């Protein structure tokens, strides 16, 4: 949890913006009336964001009220958002960007030379305080620490060199979608072998939750936990052989590599 409350303005009320709002509010890092949000031209999303207690204002108002600004817009919207923010920034503002693929130097340039910029990458687990978050190291250690402390109420935070942020984006930023796809496939497979959709869904979700908790809390490596389940000649080994034969590892590796490449492409496109 953050060591003190601060006033926070979230720029963007999409999926990540709303996840940050709900996580920060629930974690006690920023609570109404110190939690603000703005979003360009989407009243529905603003209404959803406001439902968690955040106050709504334009960028000028948010910059007057908030000490920390979380830039949570899509990468393609970063240039415009920065142009609109720049005239309202004060030297004391800390801007924390969670936009995938956008380097700190590009953000500073788009913000009119504003120096206090930190890059971070949480994920949508922020909503329930279960985010995997990375914060990029930078020249101002105090700003990096402040961003890390603020975001720690969303889940564990790791400090990494900025050149590793594309890899973080590919693994944990996009990672929840990979897990959801696996859960989808497990549910569909359960139904295909005769289970009702409700039972298949409940079993798949609890299995994913239990496996993740075991991997985190047992102190054992995933390989050890897998081998403990895979009795020779048993059902688990038969299933794992199919997954290995169909190239699960290669597919995941290629997916993460492609996501990392895409993050770099976004940076070049800016």
Residue 2's pLDDT is 43
With bands split at pLDDT 50, 70 and 90, how would you rate the model's confidence at 32?
low
Pairing mode, strands 117-121 and 133-136:
antiparallel
* Sheet arrangement for strand 35-38: 55-56, 35-38, 8-11, 68-71, 94-97, 117-121, 133-136, 157-160
Where b means 16+ CB within 10 Å and e means fewer, 77-112 reads: ebeebbeebeeebeeebbbbbbbbbbbbebbbebbe
The answer, yes or no, to whether residue 101 has pLDDT greater than 90, is yes
Q: Which residues contact 119 (CB under 8 A, 6 or more apart)?
A: 96, 97, 98, 102, 103, 104, 107, 135, 136, 138, 162, 165
Closest CA to 85 of 57, 105, 52, 45: 57
Q: What is the value of pTM for the model shown? A: 0.89
Q: Which residues contact 160 (CB under 8 A, 6 or more apart)?
A: 134, 135, 136, 137, 168
Residue 15's pLDDT is 85
- 213: burial class by Cβ within 10 Å (0-12, 13-18, 19+)? exposed
Percent of the chain with pLDDT over 70: 95
With bands split at pLDDT 50, 70 and 90, how would you rate the model's confidence at 3?
very low
With bands split at pLDDT 50, 70 and 90, how would you rate the model's confidence at 4?
low
The answer, yes or no, to whether residue 210 has pLDDT greater than 50, is yes
150 is written with which tokens? 């603020």
The helix/strand count (H/E) of the chain reads as 12, 8
Q: Which whole number is the average pLDDT over 251-260?
A: 98
**Which of 8-22, 41-55, 229-243 is least confident?**
41-55
With bands split at pLDDT 50, 70 and 90, how would you rate the model's confidence at 45?
confident
With bands split at pLDDT 50, 70 and 90, how would you rate the model's confidence at 270?
confident
Q: Which whole number is the average pLDDT over 184-202?
A: 98
Give CA separation, 80 vs 75, 85, 96, 107, in Å.
Answer: 10, 9, 16, 11
Which residue would you say has higher pLDDT here, 4 or 244?
244
Domains, in order of start, for the chain: 8-162 (3.40.50.720), 175-266 (1.10.3730.10)
C-alpha angle 79-85-88 in degrees, rounded to nearest 5: 155
Residue-wise pLDDT tens digits, 139-152? 999 999 999 999 99
Contact indicator for 238, 249 with CB cutoff of 8 Å: no
Q: Which whole number is the average pLDDT over 30-37?
A: 73
Residue-wise pLDDT tens digits, 212-223? 999 999 999 999
With bands split at pLDDT 50, 70 and 90, how would you rate the model's confidence at 1?
very low
147 is written with which tokens? 């961003």
């Amino acid at each position: 949890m953050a060591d003190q409350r601060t006033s926070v303005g979230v720029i963007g009320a999409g999926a990540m913006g709303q996840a940050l709002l709900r996580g920060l509010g629930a974690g006690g890092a920023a609570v109404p009336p110190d939690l603000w949000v703005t979003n360009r031209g989407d009243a529905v999303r603003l209404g959803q964001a406001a439902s968690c207690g955040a106050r709504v204002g334009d960028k000028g108002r948010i910059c007057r009220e908030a000490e920390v600004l979380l830039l949570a817009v899509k990468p393609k919207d970063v240039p415009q958002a920065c142009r609109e923010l720049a005239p309202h920034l004060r030297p004391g503002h800390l801007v924390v960007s969670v936009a995938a693929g956008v380097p700190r130097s590009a953000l500073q340039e788009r913000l009119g030379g504003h120096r206090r910029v930190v890059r971070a990458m949480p994920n949508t687990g922020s909503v329930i305080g279960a985010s995997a978050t990375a914060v990029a190291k930078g020249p101002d250690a105090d700003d990096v620490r402040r961003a890390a402390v603020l975001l720690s109420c969303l889940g564990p935070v790791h400090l990494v060199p900025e050149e590793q942020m594309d890899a973080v984006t590919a693994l944990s930023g996009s990672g929840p979608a990979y897990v959801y796809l696996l859960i989808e496939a497990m549910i569909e497979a359960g139904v295909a072998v005769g289970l009702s959709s409700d039972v298949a869904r409940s079993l798949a979700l609890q299995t994913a939750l239990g496996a993740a908790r075991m991997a985190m809390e047992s102190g054992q490596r995933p390989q050890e936990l897998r081998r403990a389940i895979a009795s020779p000649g048993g059902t688990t080994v038969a299933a794992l052989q199919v997954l290995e034969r169909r190239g699960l590892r290669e597919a995941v590796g290629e997916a993460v590599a492609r996501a990392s490449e895409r993050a770099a492409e976004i940076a070049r496109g800016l």
